[in-house]
């Protein structure tokens, strides 16, 4: 497992503080060796490093 940090620009906030313009998402991905699991492997988040994709996120604070 490899820890990854991805920064997002906030375009719209539906609930909560409206002054947040950026957020940092911390998540994990499989290394190349671990990604050979195939069928039955966990479905982890995969965000491509290039390009500008749009995501709809429902976030809760880490407890």
- From first to last of its 63 residues, the chain has per-residue pLDDT tens of 788 888 888 988 888 889 989 988 887 777 766 656 566 666 666 677 776 777 788 877 777
d(CA 39, CA 55): 26
- Domains of the chain by residue range: 2-37
Under DSSP, is residue 54 helix (H, G, I), strand (E, B) or coil?
coil
The phi-psi region of residue 34 (left if phi > 0; otherwise alpha if psi is between -120 and 50; otherwise beta) is: alpha
């Amino acid at each position: 497992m490899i820890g990854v940090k991805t920064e997002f620009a906030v375009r719209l906030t539906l609930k909560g503080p409206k002054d947040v313009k950026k957020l940092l998402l911390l998540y994990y991905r499989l290394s190349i060796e671990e990604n050979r699991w195939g069928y039955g492997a966990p479905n982890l988040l995969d965000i491509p490093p290039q390009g500008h994709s749009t995501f709809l996120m429902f976030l809760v604070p880490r407890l």
